[in-house]
Homo-oligomer: A and B are copies of this chain.
């Protein structure tokens, strides 16, 4: 490579400092030993001369690969792309590149993928995973591999987490629906083995109690996955019970989209007969008919924060773990309205 010819010595000569200084600047672990002014000059010249470090030699010297593994359940789920972009934008700005993989929530595949990433000596892992006690997490802890968990929130003191304040989100939804006059609620939760499913489930129950709404366990369903198919299935089950309810709260927009289908098949109108709410505000939600009232989760910001935490930890291994929950916001659209004929949907 042409640029391969440019050496640290060439840069030192051009800048007028010792090669050791250039070397310190180009090594993120020793950079802080050099004055900002010199750092700027060295980096400018290095760029101008098209200097390219040999990451293998660099890796041997600093034992850093300048890569961070990112593992999500499935990036074709519209919940994840904004988060991944937030991670990537933030990492790239600091000279790191993300290694990306999808786990499908499958422990075997997750283990394979994380092994592949550890084999590449990723400097850290940003991942979404169901619990603090998965083999993968334990293996990473054993390796002392820096971890940041996204879209999940645990109380594990050893691992940084970036998630959403689902207690607030569910509170906002219930407040809105009760304000519209709803008293009879049904609820479809996401998988309870995921903190997002669990937190929204309990958040909804707590909010219902807080607003003095009857909690009818018989009108609670749990979807096997955050997708339309399971949402439709659960909605049909709830409707077939013949119990009247005017508001259907769901754990995600995709679950809500499935409920739209179940209602359509039975000729039940939304919002006239039943109001429906989602969670996440994926792009689809604004286009559903009626457009979906939902909770916007700041996913890009979540990814950016996760990457920021990772960089802090990489620059200073003594950084203690942090737990951040981003506050979501209520998006009022067309799918939730005042109950007009609360009985309509009890005809089955």
A-to-B contact residues, CB < 8 Å: 1-2, 52-53, 55-56, 59-60, 65-67, 69-70, 74-76, 78, 81-82, 84-85, 88-89, 92, 95, 97-102, 112-113, 115-121, 142-143, 257, 283-284, 287-289
Contacts and interface: CB of A to CB of B under 8 A. Distances in A.
A28 to B, nearest CB: 13
A283 B78 CA distance: 9
B116 A102 contact: no
A60 B98 CA distance: 22
A98 B100 contact: yes
Contacts of A287: 257, 284, 287-289
Nearest to A58: B119
A2 B97 contact: no
**Shortest 10 CB-CB contacts between residues of A and residues of B:** A289-B289, A100-B100, A76-B81, A56-B59, A97-B99, A75-B81, A97-B116, A284-B284, A99-B99, A76-B85
Contact of A142 (B2, B52, B118): B2
Given A92-B113, A287-B284, A99 B102 contact: no
16 contacts: A55-B120, A56-B121, A69-B97, A70-B100, A74-B85, A75-B84, A76-B82, A84-B100, A85-B102, A88-B101, A88-B102, A97-B99, A97-B120, A100-B100, A287-B287, A287-B289
Contacts of A117: 97
Contacts of A56: 56, 59-60, 121
